[in-house]
Chain A
């Protein structure tokens, strides 16, 4: 199946700093990638949809100036958490959409990035 990687897998930063998380599709091109946030013992919450070459679409309640998304190429999307605070500590997961042979879209998820803000 399609492989999606994320870097870094873990990051610890001080409050007020910015953190960049990369999401790469390794063996396919993804025109659409998704960013999710997951708090402990909860399911994934969609933050934004990232489209190559255009602005990301953010879900209601997600601050676009705080969570900057760039999808500059067909294999890379980045999420930058600006001026991070402890409440931003979470597990961030990206996924890439692939149009399957059966005619439906399928998402492949990255391994996630654990962000801890001190």
Chain B
């Protein structure tokens, strides 16, 4: 069964600190993995997208890693800012005629001043 699991479910950190969010998946055959940021009451916005051959990709203070062997990904946020408070969603796509896309349940990140 294709699944995407994220941890932790929620996280609170102080402004300026770093944090790492985890995503484990069992999607097969794997096509790509994306991290989205969703502010409250808004649609998700893409942060990074990685294919099988990529194991690190950065977007400003966001760095995503992918280990296709262990089927794990992480999103590292450096020097967190108050505006980083949001839900972070891991989305994995499978190669299929229906372009199956599986969403993780997200990690709710709160940055405290």
Contact = CB atoms under 8 A, between A and B. Distances in A.
Interface stretch (B14-22, B36-44, B59-67): B36-44
A4 B45 CA distance: 11
Contacts of B106: 43
Given A1-B46, A43-B89, A44-B89, A107 B41 contact: no
Contacts of A105: 93, 99
Contacts, number: 46
Nearest to B104: A43
Q: Is the interface of B mostly helix, strand, loop or mixed?
A: strand
Chain A, interface residues (CB within 8 Å), range: 20 to 34
A109 interface: yes
Interface string B88-102: 010001000001010
13 contacts: A4-B43, A43-B89, A43-B104, A44-B89, A46-B101, A93-B43, A100-B49, A104-B31, A105-B99, A106-B34, A106-B49, A107-B101, A111-B43
